[in-house]
Structure 1
Amino acid sequence: MNDDQKILLIKRYMDRTLTDQEESDFFTWYHDVSAEEFHQLVQRAADDGLPLVYEEASPAFLTQLSDRLTAMDNEQKGGTVRKISRLWWAAAAVLVLAAGTWVVLQRPTLRQEVTVNIPVQDIAPGRNGAVLTLADGSQVTLDSLGNGQIGNQNGSRLILQNGSLKYDAANAATASYNTIHTPASRQFKLVLPDGSAVWLNAESAIRYPTAFNGADRTVEISGEAYFEVVPDATRPFRVKIDNKATIDVLGTDFNINAYKDELSIRATLLSGRVKVNTTSGEAVLQPGQQAAIRETIQVNNQINTGQVTAWKDGIFNFDELGVEEVMRQLARWYDIEVVYEKNVPDIRFYGEIGRNLSLSQVLEGLKLSGVNFRIEEDKRLVVLP
């Protein structure tokens, strides 16, 4: 194939119009192409009008590419030597094409070709799932159920559909309270009785009524959650965070990171308008701003909102993050214990990688920045000096 034909395949791959033969040609070429050539052709495709479709970088889309390339690289299995480069591209490829740039974990060079040992004790990525606690205290493991109605609480129907839980409160007589908790290595989507959507990251929880019958719509969270709130000027939406802060909303999109092991509670506004309230004061946020809540509220205007919400789209965004912050994200998603053999390396990472990859595959990319790791038994990750 000449370069024009390769660029055409890249474009058609992005808009999913490849024929069977073109798909075969694309994966065959993609499997063997060098990093430099691929980078150059992506840049040319972007210059020729490659559509910017970041939203296409869904976990399912990334998994499809990863699975195809894994099969092609799978001549050697089970803890033996294999190439990680194609697997790494599989997680980053859609982001590369969508942004028109080369996604790497090391600047300023292109991604390197590396041959690695995949340890026997590799750890699979997290997945969709959660535990629902009903008003009577009984618990339901949601990732073990199929689609359909799974309960009825005072007239509110609980419907599980394609991995998310929805409440139909049209015939609700009274409201009771439910809680959804995501263990480590799980995430989950909830649709509240008013139609507002909530995505829970790993090790997070939300408590909410089964019907919004009062003057406001109040929920309580811990951990990390992304909200898309349905506007209702007559009933403000309110989020309580670990008895430390409250966010008042009319209708907007925002993310809250309130993990106990983070330095501060962070509320980031994507669209609309919210007011952050604490015992020490309040702040009104505009889109693109973030409130960091400690003893006081500090508003930051220089926020990469794509990085904040990357987890919801199935991506780790490690751009300019230090080792400890990255390790906290990995610990939640892979349900691992992280220990440091000596001091914490003074290194910052760059780039993005899919959350659908195994732990060892993610670590291989991080190694390009000069940090080494060892996976031990009992899901223990040792960070080496």
Structure 2
Amino acid sequence: MNDDQKIVLLKKYMDRTLTDQEEADFFSWYHDVRAEEFHHLLQQTSDGGKPLVYEAASPAFLAQLNDRLTALDNEQQGARIRKISRFWWAAAAILVLAAGTWMVMKHPAAKQDMAVNKPVQDIAPGRNGAILTLADGNQITLDSIGNGQISNQNGSRVILQNGSLHYEASGAAIASINTVRTPVSRQFRLVLPDGSAVWLNAASTLKYPTAFTGHDRTVEISGEAYFEVAQDPEKPFRVKINNKATIEVLGTHFNINAYTDESSIRATLLAGSIKVNAAGGAVVLKPGQQAAIRETIQLRNIVNTGQVIAWKDGIFNFDAMGVEEVMRQLARWYDIEVVYEKNVPDIRFYGEIGRNLSLSQVLEGLKMSGVNFRIEGKRLIVLPS
């Protein structure tokens, strides 16, 4: 297939006019295309003489493109493939500079010819891991032990399986209290005794019973966590947040961001229904809504839910974020201190990038917006713009 034919297919994809055969040809090419070739063809694809490179480089377009490719792979292979596992960004990311912003295009990383040159000083990304505190006070570092049963507390078995903690409490009559804490630069997943799954972001803590023996299922959270709650109408699920709010739910998917250095506690609903209770009142959320809790509860109807849970899927999503919010995320994931040499640059970022990259690789993308940095040991110094 020559370049003219590829451009025609790319334009028809944007116009949604591909035939079945053309779609197969297009994704067959896109599956293995080099990043620079894709970008070059985007620059040549136009609508009335206007290049479509910036439209096509938008996160929404690229997410749609990769979602469709993943769906086709699933149909061909008969198995679910996690998009984030397939499309790592490190080497083949395309950085598009436009109007003082940067974007990172989601793209296959099979080719290594666009790797970012690292400076001498660098900091590795965070990884999977946590510290489990048992009811007797003993602590177990979960990222330093192998698979298998690690505890049995009053009939509740605690099992580590492939980096995820699982509780089996069918024979438990008495509940003990356990705590899982993720230090900075760690994240972790665990399955509670009722089958509910919880993902913990860096610098977060979850406190919970080893068996849900009472009339409800209550856990406590600080930091950030994503919940997929198992349904049990007889035992409502409750999440206490920093002693400032409580979420009530039967069965649903939602995210809680309760870092103390953020301006508010944010509860975002992905599916189902939850009730948020705080000193400022109460509100019931529908999917796609967010409750921001300060002195009162502010209901937000327009929320980028993909951005909210991007961390769970191994992605930084910096769409429309200011410098300080981005730096707080980097500080938690790379275990660094962020220092502003003078003013905080008045710049917003747009785009996504993988959390598996080193700090210097992420900074290379951020620098394209005009923000400069200096790394001194574990300190990231933001320079004046």
SS in 2 for 1:311: helix
The residue aligned with 1:174 is 174
The residue aligned with 1:200 is 200
Counterpart Cα distance in 1 of 2:66 and 2:276? 41
SS in 2 for 1:51: helix
**Residue of structure 2 aligned with 1:33, choices 26, 34, 37:** 37
**Gap runs ≥5 in structure 2:** 10-23, 46-52, 72-79, 106-112
Counterpart Cα distance in 1 of 2:66 and 2:353? 24
The residue aligned with 1:276 is 276
Deviation at 1:280, TM superposition (A): 2.5
Deviation at 1:45, TM superposition (A): 11
SS in 2 for 1:190: strand
Equivalent AA in structure 1 for residue 298 of structure 2: Q
Equivalent AA in structure 2 for residue 376 of structure 1: E
Q: Is the 8 A contact 2:104 2:352 kept in 1?
A: no
Counterpart Cα distance in 2 of 1:182 and 1:382? 25
1:299 and 2:315 matched: no
CA offsets, 1:248-298, max 9 Å, x none? 001110000000000000000111111111123111111111000011101
Equivalent AA in structure 2 for residue 61 of structure 1: R
Equivalent AA in structure 2 for residue 383 of structure 1: V
1:287 and 2:312 matched: no
The residue aligned with 2:231 is 231
1:326 and 2:326 matched: yes
Counterpart Cα distance in 1 of 2:63 and 2:258? 38
- Residue-pair matches, total: 339
The residue aligned with 1:121 is 121
Q: Is the 8 A contact 2:374 2:381 kept in 1?
A: yes
Aligned identity (percent) is 67
Q: Is the 8 A contact 1:228 1:254 kept in 2?
A: yes
Within 5 A, what are the aligned runs for 1:56-205? 58-63=83-88, 66=90, 69=91, 86=92, 88-89=93-94, 104=96, 106-107=98-99, 118-205=118-205
Within 5 A, what are the aligned runs for 1:236-247? 236-247=236-247
Q: Is the 8 A contact 1:105 1:365 kept in 2?
A: no
SS in 2 for 1:231: coil
Task: Note closer, same or farther for the CA distance 1:306–1:105 as it changes in structure 2 (3 Å cut).
Answer: farther
TM-score by length of structure 2 reads 0.80
Deviation at 1:35, TM superposition (A): 2.3
Equivalent AA in structure 1 for residue 275 of structure 2: K
Task: Note closer, same or farther for the CA distance 1:110–1:58 as it changes in structure 2 (3 Å cut).
Answer: closer
Equivalent AA in structure 1 for residue 363 of structure 2: L
The residue aligned with 1:384 is 383
Counterpart Cα distance in 1 of 2:64 and 2:186? 39
TM-score by length of structure 1 reads 0.80
Counterpart Cα distance in 2 of 1:141 and 1:350? 36
Deviation at 1:115, TM superposition (A): 9.6
Equivalent AA in structure 1 for residue 371 of structure 2: V
Deviation at 1:151, TM superposition (A): 1.3
The residue aligned with 2:21 is none
The residue aligned with 2:359 is 359
Task: Note closer, same or farther for the CA distance 1:48–1:61 as it changes in structure 2 (3 Å cut).
Answer: closer
SS in 2 for 1:222: strand
Deviation at 1:123, TM superposition (A): 0.6
Equivalent AA in structure 1 for residue 380 of structure 2: L
Task: Note closer, same or farther for the CA distance 1:58–1:148 as it changes in structure 2 (3 Å cut).
Answer: farther
Counterpart Cα distance in 2 of 1:263 and 1:286? 23
Task: Note closer, same or farther for the CA distance 1:116–1:195 as it changes in structure 2 (3 Å cut).
Answer: closer
Equivalent AA in structure 1 for residue 40 of structure 2: E
Equivalent AA in structure 1 for residue 209 of structure 2: P
Q: Is the 8 A contact 1:216 1:235 kept in 2?
A: yes
